Structures are given as structure tokens and as C-alpha cells.
Structure 1
Amino acid sequence: MSAQLPTCQLLERYYGQAARLWPVSPPDDTWLLNLSAAMVSDNVALREQWQTSARQAMSPFAPFDCLPDGQVVLFWPKAHQLGKWWLAWLCHVLPDDTPVDIVGEHQGGIKRVPKILDELGMACDKLDNARRCTLFATRTVNMAAPESAWQTFDALDMRLVSHPGVFGHGKVDEGTQLLLQALEKALPKKPLKVLDMGCGDGIISAWLAKRGHAVTAVDVSAFAAEACRRTLRENALEGRVLESDVYSALDGERFDVIVSNPPFHQERDISYGPSSRLIDQAVEHLQAKGQLWLVANAFLPYPERLQRALGEFETLSDNRRFRVYRAVN
């Protein structure tokens, strides 16, 4: 089987079919899975996919107690600060002078990597380039645990903690503000069991917990889940935070309200997969008369999906850029 994605095609060209790789923050490519014994990713959905194929898959926030069995390859993310975090993490958990290769697309900013490596005091050699991608080689140096990427900021009378790569990093996006305004007006004031789907840095979870609701927050990203935990702690609030591929970690649990500002981008691509499952499976996780609240860009095709999954729904807010929808089970 050949590689499907440009970065993996470059790796296939350089390493060949006999390679043994140890990818970090990898994309979803079967060729890569077949040539790797283990990987590290913040994405719980991808980790579960690899584990189903009998591969070791680790979260960067889990205790690290193994050495790479293969060539370490970091897939460079579009958020450069996140890439620097991954480099610092690798330098912290791996022995000094461990070879690390870095691959990425030109439009994703891989050409900035030599400068970043120089700033970190790390070597840099260019190995290959093709498919509008480049492959660099470096070696780890001694570094402390990467804590500097975490950013704390104040918004809506709360202290929020964010991390590069988490949705809305360092700010409150317009859609979330519109959703919270609508919730303030129309959400019942009595304590409710609420699910925050795609919690990001935890702003919605903290806002709900501050008003006395019992909050469960889930996100597919370990960075987002950790950011949400830190946000709740910063505000002395209670809440359960889980890594989950949409509803995968909830085992049929039901809620009075499901609230979400669902993502529709995967890197630079548009993907409706998670948001579609969020809507289609909501009836299985809502109590009778339970409510599903969504905020979304006005152009996204969610009304038709809400109609099919839950029947009637209403638009509570519309500022021409974003809309807030509510449907009742």
C-alpha cells in the first residue's frame, strides 16, 4: 500500500517500504500505520484507531515510560507554537541526541522550521523535499517540561487557560459569545446535567459550572481537555473532563442539555464528520425533553441535519455570521 497524503508520500520516497517509524502528531494515513509500531498524538480518535490495529498509541499527557522503537518523525502542525511545544516535549522525554526528523507541507509553514530549531539550539539538516513538502533532521537537546506555551487570559469574568492548537486559542470567538448570550436568556435557571461537546479551552464549561450546572466536558484533543481542566481549576469550579471522539467515552449517558460550538475544520480541510455525529446521535444522549444547543457559521448546512435528527428546531440568534440553534428531544 502506498502513502496517500503528501507528507507521507515524501516519507515513503525517502525511507522506502522497509522503514520503521515512530510518528508524533501524525495524520490519518494507512501507509504510516502499517510502517509504525507506535505513535504519539493528542487526538483520541486517531489513537483509538491505531490501538484497534494493535499499535501502541500514547497521549503526550500520559506518563511516558518507553523509548522509540523506530525513527522519530514529527509532523509539523500549522500552529508554529504547537510545533515548538512538540519539539520541547520530545527533548524533555527522550534522551539527549535522539535523532528526530520533521516533515510538513510548505503551505503549513515547514520552511520556518530551520529558524525555529536554531532558536532552540538544535541542529538542522535538510533531507529531502517533494510533493510541496520538506523533510528535516535534528537531534534532541536537554529541555525542561514544556509549560511556557500555556496562555492565561481573562474574559467574561473568568480566567481562561489556552494552548496553541486549541480552538479559539487566546481569545473568545464571536460564535461562542453569541451562544453564551443566548444561553443566558433562554437556558433554565435550575441546575441541569449539561454536556459541553468540543469543549476547547473550557470557556463554555466554566460559564455553565459557574451558574451551578453539573458539567461534563469532552473533546477529541488532549490539549483541549487539559486546557479545560486548567480553566476549571483556575476558577475553582467543578466539572468532569474527558477525551472523547464525539460521544465515544460516554457509554450511553444522557443529559438535560448538550451544548456545542462544533468544529468543521480539520487542519485546512472542511470536515462535517464530528458535527454530523453530534447531531445524528444526540437523541441517544438526551433525556426526554432534553435540549441540543449549537452555534455555527451561518453558511453551514446544519438546519437540514437538525430537522432530520430531531424534528423541529428554532434559531435563537442570528447575527448574519453565526446562528444559534436549539432543538428539543
Structure 2
Amino acid sequence: MDLTSEVVIRQIDLLQDRVLFVNAPTDDLLSQLNDNIKPSIWCWNFNDFQYFQNQQSNVHFGVDFPEGQFDQAVIFVPKSKELLNYLLHNVASHLAQGASIFLVGEKKGGVERAAKQLQPFGKTLKIDSARHCQMWQTLLEKTVTLKPLQDWVQKYPVETPNGELTICALPGVFSQNRLDVGTATLLPYLSQVTSGKIADFGCGAGVISAYLAKLNPKNRIFAMDVDAFALASTQMTFEQNLLEPEQLVIKAVTGIEDAPLFLHAIVSNPPFHQGIQTDYNASENLCKTSRRHLKSGGELWIVANRFLNYPTLIEQHYGQCTIKADQQGFKVLFASTQKNLKEQ
């Protein structure tokens, strides 16, 4: 069981009635709860959603607060300070005055810093410290009016050969405030990507997806991400830039295995974080198995940190890998499947 869940179990007698668990770890916490607790889960990671679905839990996947009434909430501290602000605001705007909001997290994950974000909502008290974790409680002292999702968006410009794009990024989404160096390194090469049915794996705020759509109105983009906040950001980016909605397909995925088949291209600044932890599984699987989702002659375009051994992985599965650029600590990598003469 996750260490944070163990701390919650230590304070189980404080929980009662309809309790919303926000960003809960994928373990057997729910099975340890008392009978007087009616648990629900709010998550935005598609892997987590599938786990809780398989457990027959009452789980909601998305950026919006779940439907229903709740008496208490337990928030497991996310990596992003801005995302925690969003979660606290949403929880506080849906609970009644006097309701308890609990915050639990690991010390190395910044729980003490996070606890300070509770203070505007009411008197805050540390109620447990164990397993290198802490649990805090706030009694909601005032009514909070819900702010619309649009108010949480950060915007920044990105230049394309066909004009400027405005990128919309929600809290917790990768590179929320500005264009990251890796994507900036990749963008000049997107005009070389074959047109057609293209997957943007790990779409984030939709920079690559919108750029490809702006370059060619005939491109059909499958924007794929594990994170509901990323998918919502990409949708907002398309709407902000008046791109044709028919060009975009939003798809929550667990990995590249959920991508469509017969793609003309896969383009990615691949993710390598799972919450606070570094996790290269999704990006390594992209290198190893992406070719089965491509048409013959289909293309793979990846930008990745220079120190990662992706060129070797790609060569093992594609037969070749071309380094298109090597600058500012990043490599732009290209590979393609063999063309089938019958398809030409």
C-alpha cells in the first residue's frame, strides 16, 4: 500500500459519510475503509481511472468536479502547486461550511508547502506525521464561488510558418507557462512530416497538434495523452485558434498501444513523468512498438533529451534512425517504416 494511504488509514476514524478521494494512489485503500464511509474517486490520469474502474469503484475521470454531494474530501498532493490550487478551489466551492478537507502527501513531495495552500480556506491543523508523510485537516470556514475552467488557463504565443498560435494550458500540464526547449527544437521540422492521419503522443497543451493543423488543414490530428488536463488544454488551444474541429480527435490513452492503426505519422515530445516519479516506460514503448500503428512508409518523429538511448531503441525496431538535430540538450529523431509497393 502507498505510504500516503497508510497515513489515511491511521486516521480512518476522522472520515465519515460521502468522502471524495482526489488523486488517490492505485492501491487497496478503499477496501480498508469503514462501513460508514461512502467513497468516490476523482482522477485525471487515465491509467488510474482504468484501475479504479476495474475495482468497481465509483470513479470520475476529468478536469471538472464530479457530480454528486460530498461531506468530506481527501486530497493526495499532486506535483503541481497550481493544480493543487485548482483542486482546493473546486473542493471548497462544492463542500458545505464546516466540512473537512484533508491533505495528505509525502514530505519529499512537498506536503508541508502544500499545507500552506489550505490556509485561505480555514484553520489548518497537522493531524499526523508518519511514514515520511503528513496529513493535514482544514475546516471550511467560508463559502467559495466556483471559478470557470477558462479562468485557470495560462496562454502564450508560438510562431508557425502560417502565423501565430496561442497555446492554452491548464494547471499541472507540462510547460504551462511557456514553450519548452524540446518542443521548440522539434517545431522547425514539423513541415517535413508527411501529411494525413497523424498522432501527437503525449499532446500536453496541444502545441504540436495545433502546429500540424495550422501547417496543413488536411491533416487529421489524434491528440493523445494520459492526462485529462492535457486533453482539455489541447481542445482549448484548437478553439482559441479557430482551427477546424474536424481536424482534431481527442483520445485518452494509457500508452502508444491505444493509438489508431494505419497512421501516416506519429509525432511526439514523449512524457517521462508519472506524478512525482520519473518513468520512461511510455516513451520507451513508443520507440519499440509504434511502427505497428503506422502505414507502410509511415513516419516517427521524436524529440528527446540527448542522454536518452532512444536512437538505439528505434534502430532495433525500425532498422534505422536519423538524427535530424542535436542542440540545446535535445535530439530530433526520425524513422520510417518500409514502403509497401502495393500501397504506392
| Normalised TM-score (structure 1) | 0.88
Structure 2: which amino acid aligns with 1:214? R
For the Cα contact (< 8 Å) 2:72–2:99, is it kept in 1?
Answer: no
- Deviations along 1:254-305, one digit per CA (max 9) or x if unpaired, are 2100000011122332211111222233122111110011110011121222
122 and 60 in structure 1: CA distance in 2 versus 1, 3 angstrom threshold: farther
Any stretches of 5+ residues in structure 1 without a counterpart?
none
CA distance in 2, matches of 1:72, 1:309: 46
Deviation at 1:63, TM superposition (A): 7.2
Aligned to 2:9: 12
Asked if 2 retains the 8 angstrom alpha-carbon contact of 1:48 and 1:57, the reply is no
2: CA distance, partners of 1:123 / 1:253: 53
Specify the alignment match of 2:223 in structure 1: 217
Amino acid at match of 1:292: L
Aligned match of 1:43: 45
Contact 2:306 2:329 in 1 (8 A): yes
Partners of 2:331 and 2:242 in 1: CA distance = 31
Equivalence for 1:129: 129
Aligned to 1:315: 323
Q: Identify the residue that residue 176 of structure 1 maps to in structure 2.
A: 183
Report the CA distance between 1:114 and its aligned residue.
Answer: 4.2
Say whether the 8 Å CA contact 2:190–2:212 is kept in structure 1: no
CA contact (8 A) 1:33 1:50 kept: no
Q: Report 1:120-159 matches (<5 A).
A: 120-140=120-140, 141-145=143-147, 147=149, 148-156=151-159, 157-159=164-166
Q: In structure 2, what is the equivalent of residue 160 of structure 1? A: 167
The equivalent residue for 1:23 is: 21
Whether the 8 Å CA contact 2:193–2:265 is kept in 1: the answer is no
User: Paired residue for 2:307?
Assistant: 299
The residue matched to 2:118 in structure 1 has which SS? Answer: helix
Assess if the C-alpha contact under 8 Å between 2:65 and 2:90 holds in 1.
Answer: no
Per-residue CA deviation, residues 56-93 of structure 1 (Å, 9 max, x unaligned), is: 2212435732234x852101122111101001111233
Q: Is the 2:73–2:91 Cα contact (8 Å) retained in structure 1? A: no
Decide whether the 8 Å contact of 2:157 with 2:166 is kept in 1: yes
Aligned equivalent of 1:195, options 176, 192, 199: 199
Identity of aligned residues (%): 29
Are the structure 2 counterparts of residues 318 and 270 from structure 1 closer, same or farther at C-alpha, using a change threshold of 3 Å? Answer: same
The normalised TM-score by structure 2 is 0.85
Q: How big is the shift at 1:115?
A: 3.0
1:235 to 2:241 alignment: yes
Corresponding residue of 1:84: 85
**1-structure distance, mates of 2:72, 2:66:** 17
Which whole-Å CA distance do the structure 2 matches of 1:57 and 1:280 have between them?
Answer: 32
Q: CA deviation at 1:19?
A: 8.7
Q: How many residues align structurally?
A: 318
Letter paired with 2:105: G
- Whether the 8 Å contact between 2:128 and 2:134 is mirrored in structure 1 is yes
- The separation in 2 between residues aligned to 1:254 and 1:317, in whole angstroms, is 27
Distance of 2:231 and 2:166 partners within structure 1: 16
Deviation at 1:134, TM superposition (A): 1.2
The residue that corresponds to 1:245 in the other structure is 254
Question: After superposition, what is the alpha-carbon deviation per residue over 1:29-72, rounded to whole angstroms, capped at 9, x for unaligned?
Answer: x232534643111101110111012112212435732234x852
Give per-residue Cα distances to partners, 1:214-250, cap 9 Å, x unaligned.
1110110000000000001111113122222124654
Q: Which 10-residue stretch deviates more, 107-116 or 206-215? A: 107-116
Match of 2:341 in 1: none
Counterpart residue type for residue 126 of structure 2:
K
CA 1:65–1:266 in 2, change beyond 3 Å: closer, same or farther? closer
Q: What is the CA–CA distance in structure 1 between the aligned matches of 2:306 and 2:171, rounded to whole Å?
A: 26
C-alpha spacing 1:277/1:95, structure 2 compared with 1 (3 Å): farther
Contact 1:96–1:142 (Cα < 8 Å) also in 2: no
* Map of 1:283 onto structure 2: 291
Runs of 4+ displaced beyond 4 Å: 18-21
Asked if the contact 2:102/2:136 (under 8 Å) is kept, the reply is: yes
Q: Which moved more, 1:6-15 or 1:71-80?
A: 6-15
Q: CA separation in 2, counterparts of 1:316 and 1:129?
A: 50
